Structure 1
Amino acid sequence: MFTIDFENLPWLAYIGQIVDILLVTYVVYKLIMIIRGTRAVQLVKGIAVIFMIWFVSNFLGLSTLEFITKQTATFGLLAIIIIFQPELRRGLEQLGRSRLFTSRSAPKNDSMQTTIDALVKATSYMGKRRIGALVSIEKETGLNDYAETGIPMQAVLTSELLINIFIPNTPLHDGAVVIKNDKILAAGCYLPLSEDNTISKELGTRHRAALGISEVTDCLTLIVSEETGGISISKSGTLYRNLSAEQLREMLEQNLLRATSSENRWQWGGRKNG
């Protein structure tokens, strides 16, 4: 019987090497994207300096210095895990949010359309009156951990209820509202602040919290500025600022409705420092 000896075909080895290089390049790229704009960049520079000292001391025969740097490198793996814990957690969360592990069914479009209508109406009202607001909308990654930091509500979302929550000097106006489908899970919730050093200094705590939650989950977060009345959305670590009601509706529909969730028909120009 005629068989092909694939092991002796040299082109398979070349293809394997190419795939290996591409995979390593992709992993390195993702690591760089994870730590970009964080304090971890400075730590990476420090580690690079240690390895440079190790190489130079080995080349020049500086035995004591080589021993110290070698011991530092030997136990460096454990130190890296401890030092880079936030970045490693973020990377694992991003891996877990990939479609390979996604099994939850999306909400019905009619229910989500009602939610979008309420959000656009409420944010437009609050923007005109400069009522500060912070609203996180759950997608695939659960937000129960953050909802538990606030006051549980389990209320049907309406624009009137959302506006009343953020009226100044009311018990629930501080913190964020967490929404799941057409329900308000909780109000007055605490969100993690972004540690990105490139964020514009003019942005306040609400915007930093919106960016922070978008860096560790796949949720959309709406922000209404108390100072300017501008409406913004944070998504995947990026802030889209000064949106009109039409732009806000289109972005919500693009990201929340099943029929358009896979389309990329809108090019957004707003950035963190926009």
Structure 2
Amino acid sequence: MSVPELLAALSWRDLLDFVLLYAASYAALRLLEGTRAVPVLVFVAVLAAAGWAARELDIVGFGLLLEAVLEYIIIILIVVFHPELRRLLVRVGQRLMPAARRESTASAVDALVSACGRLQQAKIGALIILEGELDVLEVSSDAGVEIDAPLQAETLVALMVPHAINTAHDGAVLIRELRIARAGVVLPLSKREGLDHCFGTRHRGALGISEDSDALVIVLSEERGELRVVEGGAMSEALEREQLQARVEAWLERPLGEDEARAEGSGVSAAVSSSMSAVMQSSPGHRRSSKPNREAESGR
């Protein structure tokens, strides 16, 4: 059958079927982009292709093994990708009900800013991660403990209050889909040189996770009580609560699809910044000026 004959044989139902399949496939790929689901789905496709080849070549034993695995693959995928499936359903529901999404977002942001304000008044250090499209736990040093609780100010404050039995205080709190997902998350420290000496491990952890992901990180200094936002390897100046609320709201309203490019760009910029710092420190002028600077610091 020639191409004109094939096109003439197509009905409006065939065209509608094609459009729906294309839209569903495109939406699924966009939602799975940047998650751990992509390599696993590729592996499943390879298994299916190997099973088809085994049947065609009449390789009985290997073919039966692959068929047995593929029979239970749906159950395995549901168990492995439970967080991704939950996130997918929440996102679809939010898009179908934008008014409810705006209301829940505003309530969550108010709770977040309120908790930061209370911690700031008490000068209690805090590290809060708002997860984007990329999975923060894939680049974290320790996943901490699961919380899975609504985003409320009282819960955040309780997780951050230093106490001997509160082991989650030393780590970060992970906010995922406007819920408190985990606490006590240990973050990779940034290797960036030339960072101000007033920034400690908490700030380096915020920089490190922002360099490796598309998350927005809120860091609260314990000594100075300063609120800062870290995104894409860049740290803001000290913010007031109104400024913090504006930054969080703007980040939550960002267009989807920008996160992966931002994460890649932050990794490149962090690498360039680190390389430039190394070059500057190895230059003769920097070596000549470093000795007087050290003497001045020791004098102070």
**Shorter-chain TM-score tier:** 0.5 to 0.7
Alpha carbons of structure 1 residues 147 and 162: separation in structure 2 relative to 1, 3 Å: farther
Query: Which of 101, 106, 115 is the aligned partner of 1:122?
Result: 115
1:217 partner amino acid? S
RMSD, aligned α-carbons: 2.6
Q: Which residue pairs with 1:144 in the alignment? A: 137
Q: Which runs of 5+ in 2 are unaligned?
A: 1-87, 95-100, 259-272, 274-300
Counting only pairs closer than 5 Å after superposition, residues 23-102 of structure 1 correspond to structure 2 as none
Amino acid in structure 1 at the alignment position of 2:134: T
For residue 112 of structure 1, report the CA deviation from its aligned partner.
2.3
Q: 1:205 maps to which residue?
A: 201
**Following the alignment from structure 1 to structure 2, what is the Cα–Cα distance between the partners of residues 126 and 119?**
11
Aligned mates of 2:221, 2:155 — CA distance in 1: 19
Larger relative contact order (C-alpha < 8 A, sep ≥ 6)? 1
Deviation digits for residues 107-160 of structure 1 (CA, Å, limit 9, x no counterpart): 533322222111100001101110110000001112233396201111111010
Call closer, same or farther: CA 1:123–1:147 in 2, change over 3 Å: farther
Tell me the TM-score normalized by structure 1. 0.54
Richer in helix (by share): 2
User: Does the 8 Å contact 1:132/1:225 carry over to 2?
Assistant: yes
Structure 1 residue identity aligned to 2:171? G
Residue 111 (1) aligns with residue 107 (2): no
Match status 1:221 vs 2:202: no
Query: What amino acid does structure 1 have at the position aligned with 2:209?
Result: I
Query: Which residue is equivalent to 1:236?
Result: 232
2:185 paired with 1:189: yes
**Cα distance in structure 1, aligned partners of 2:241 and 2:215:** 20
Contact 2:141 2:188 in 1 (8 A): no
Q: Which whole-Å CA distance do the structure 2 matches of 1:130 and 1:142 have between them?
A: 30
TM-superposition CA deviations, 1:184-218 (whole Å, max 9, x none): 11101100101110211110111000000000101
2:148 to 140, 144, 154: 154
Q: Contact (CA 8 Å) 1:224, 1:232: kept in 2 or not?
A: yes
Alignment partner of 1:133 out of 126, 146, 151: 126
CA 1:147–1:124: 2 relative to 1, 3 Å? farther
| Structure 1 residues without counterparts, runs of 5 or longer | 1-102, 263-271
The one-letter code matched in structure 1 to 2:227 is: I
Q: Which residue of structure 1 aligns with residue 83 of structure 2?
A: none
| 1:172 counterpart SS class | helix
Q: How many pairs does the alignment contain? A: 161
Secondary structure of the 1:165 match is helix
